[in-house]
Structures are given as C-alpha cells and as structure tokens.
Chain A
Amino acid sequence: MVFMIPVVLKNLFGRCATRPYPQSPRQLFAGSRGQLINDAGKCILCGTCARSCPSQCLTVSRKEGLWQYEPFACVFCGVCVEACPAGSLSQLGQWRPAVRERERVVLKVEVKSEKSGVRSEA
C-alpha cells in the first residue's frame, strides 16, 4: 500500500483521467469502423454485401429496388464495405448515436436500366 500513496495523491490533485462524457464526447481515430452508410447513387443492387455479411443483417432486393439494413444486428466489421464492387458503402468515423426506437434502414435505390436485372425480368 505504501508504494501506491504517491500515485494516489498525484491522482487526487492532478488532472482528471476521465472525460465528462455527454458534454465532451470522445473523438474516434481516423479509420475507425463506425456507422455504416450506403450512397444510394452508387449502389447497383448487386447483393455482394448481403452475401458476405457475417451477421446477415443486409437484404438486397433488385425487384423492389430496396437495400435494407438492420443496424442493431450489424457488428461493424467492415466486410461489406470491402466487398462492395461499386464502392457505395462506407463507414463514418463516428458511432451510431443511441436511439429510443428500434429502427431499420430501408433505402430506395434507382438502378440505371443498363446495369439492372429488371429488364431481363420483364
């Protein structure tokens, strides 16, 4: 115990080691795997992200033109971001803010006709 006394006194009168959280949130480092976003303008609804996702929280439907994402099941691994051939997925340098309601992200994606499989379906 005696060896710790100087440290304890230093901590008692020194600067605070913790942060007053909601007032000063912690800034994440560059390259942190934060919130996942999809740029609807770039997405080609190929479904690669949904097939590679380990937690199976993505659903892609070409027929309805929908890209759906279940953020509560996402583990923010970034596998989908690396797999996306169109480069439309990215992760922000901040975490998803806390919310009161469980929500699902449903994105309407317009796929240009020459790229889409909609035509062949007709």
Chain B
Amino acid sequence: MAGTILPFGPQHPVLPEPLHLNLQIEDEIVVSATPAFGYVHRGLEKLADIRDFRQMIQVVERVCGICSMIHALTYCQGLEELMGIEPTPRARFLRVIWSELHRLHSHLLWLGLFADAMGFESLFMQLWKVRERIMDINEATAGNRVILSVNVIGGVRRDLDSGQTAWILSELAEVEKGFSAMSRTILHDYTVQKRTRGKGALSRSQAMELGCVGPMLRASGVSQDMRLLGYAAYGELEFAPVVEQDGDCYARCRVRFAELGQSIGLIRQAIAKLPAGDTSVPVKGRPPAGEVVARAEQPRGECLYYIKANGGKFLDRLRIRTPTFANIPALTVMLPGIELADVPVVLLSIDPCISCTER
C-alpha cells in the first residue's frame, strides 16, 4: 500500500486530550484516518460494582471535568426516574443554571482551544481570560471551580441567595461583553475564515448517518437538542436550538459562539423564574430493580446513561455513552482529502473529550 502511516497523538502538541489517530498520508494529504482508543481508560463504569449508588454520583462527575455537573445530573435524573422521585421545582431551575454555566465555560474553553489549534494565540488567551469569571461563579456558588458536585438524588446540595443571583447576573454581563468584543474576530476575521471555511464539511445526511450529536449535528442543519426534551426546568424556559447549514468547521464555530449567548439568556430566564422552596427532597431506600435510560444535552452533545439496578445498594450495570464517542466516526469521513496542516483544526472542531469517551 502506498503512503505513510502517521500516528497522530495520543501525545501531540496541538491536542488538549490524548486522542489517537492513525493517519494514512500521501503527499501531505490524508488518505484515511483510523481512531484508536484506550489510552486513558480508567474503568469508571466498573466502579459501580464497589461504590454504592450514591457514591457513584461523585464517580460519574469525574468521567469528564468539563461537563462534570451534567454527568451527575444525567445520572441523578436516571435514578430519580427509577425511584419515582420528583425533584423540587427550585432544584430543577438551579440545575439549569449550573448546566448552562458549564456549557458557557466549555464553549469558551473550546473556542480558545480552537483558536490555539489555528495558531491564534492572542484570541486563545483572551477567551480564557473571559472564561475565568465563570470559573469564579462556579467556585463561589458550588464550592469548586470544575467539579461542582452539586447534584444529589432528589435535588441539589447548594442553594443560591438573592445576593448571589444578582452577582451572577452582573458577572454574566461582563462575560457577555468580553466574548462579544471577540465576535468580529471569531466570525469575520480573514485568518479564521481561511483556516475553517469549507474544512471538514459534513452534509446533513452524512451527519445523521454517522450518528453525530450536539453542535456537530446542529452545524450540519439538523435541529436536534436534548434540552428540548424538557428535563430539569428546560421545558419551562424559552429557547430554540442554534442551527447552521454549512456543516464545516466554520459553521461549528458559529454554532458554539451563538450558544454562548443562548446559555446566558437561559441563565437569566432561570434566575428570573427561580421558584422559592426546598432544594431537595429526602430520599429513602435503594433503587428498585429495573432499568432506565437517561439523556441530557452536554456542551458537546447528547449524553446517554443506561442504568440497571437490582434492588440492592450496588448497580448491576452502568453504561455511559458520551457525546464524543458519537462524534468520532465523523472524523473518518471528514479527514480524508484534507491537508495534514488542517488536521488539528478539523479534529478540534468536534470538541473531542477523550477521557469522557474512554471513561
């Protein structure tokens, strides 16, 4: 066979995560890409055998740092459904607030890393500077910058008082100002367009067939968003999925950038409608025997939890399908035909989270 096989990752200067691809190259053009997994496998699903169903909340939070809160949320919602528990209205709205804060900081992180993959260092630093405010909100309201640990079965562990909500709103105004100031650069800059337009394009039908989720799918013109299921308090808030038609790296960038504004809007709505009351309901007993599938929209797309309980303290099986796992097959279609120098941009455009994928 002609050409050279180039191992791209798991250690590579451009990659924030240990993604491993074997690229078959001919004259600097990618001919085929084969993903390889297992580099950061930690066996977290198997821990369900020795950690009880409550302790597993802290375990699933560590599947991924960037969407830690939403992993715990999906898991708790699954168990709540199994146990027939209805979280309090206040808890549902607080869950939306923390989920959207997570989406905000994840998208800002991604935009920064994407700029970095293009070699646009100043944009990368500027976006991460804006992101710091959200990390501060996380720490002030939940106790930690990254692993919020706010979810429990039946609600949330922390509450927000009126002083905190007012402070969150004023900080969000600053965040909005910060990333809006970058909008011209991100959306109209010549360098950014040159590196992203027409790269790694995926048509609507390809995106559907390959099983893409989240911003990948929405950038290819499919209006799909798990938040439309109305879990937590999303059913009571107004929003419409951000959809773009082109399906290339630039469209993905536009989708994620527009979702920053959408998340801020959702937090404002949730704070305005935040009902009074308790933050959690007391939960007694163990989950009854049965199985349940829980889904939620993470910053990277749909996350799916399958939980099988046997009536005991330990779960029979926990299976986590993370969004990156669903988006990786698209790489095998997007990479062939592009130049090696564009591989980082296309790779980053799926927002890969490998510790999520390999769990």
Tell me the A residues contacting B by CB distance below 8 Å: 1-4, 7-8, 11, 17, 28-33, 52-55, 75-79, 82, 91
Contacts and interface: CB of A to CB of B under 8 A. Distances in A.
Interface in B157-215: 157-158, 181-182, 184-185, 188-191
B122 A3 contact: no
Nearest to A8: B122
Contacts of A78: 143, 149, 157
Contact of B54 (A7, A8, A52): A52
A31 B135 CA distance: 14
B126 interface: yes
B139 interface: yes
B113 to A, nearest CB: 17
Interface of B: 51, 54-59, 62, 120, 122-123, 125-126, 129, 136, 139-140, 143-144, 147, 149, 157-158, 181-182, 184-185, 188-191
B184 A33 contact: no
A17 B131 CA distance: 12
A26 to B, nearest CB: 10
A82 B55 CA distance: 13
A32 B144 contact: yes
A79 B58 contact: yes
B122 A7 contact: yes
Contacts of B182: 7
Given A32-B143, A33-B143, A79-B58, A3 B136 contact: no
A79 B54 CA distance: 10
A3 B189 CA distance: 7
A54 B51 contact: yes
B58 A54 contact: yes
Contact of A17 (B51, B120, B129, B158): B129
Given A77-B147, A77-B149, 14 more contacts: A3-B184, A3-B188, A3-B189, A4-B120, A4-B185, A7-B122, A8-B122, A17-B129, A30-B140, A54-B54, A75-B58, A78-B157, A79-B55, A82-B157
19 contacts: A1-B120, A1-B190, A4-B123, A4-B185, A7-B126, A7-B181, A7-B182, A11-B125, A11-B126, A28-B139, A29-B140, A31-B140, A31-B143, A31-B158, A54-B57, A75-B147, A77-B58, A77-B147, A78-B143
A54 B139 contact: no
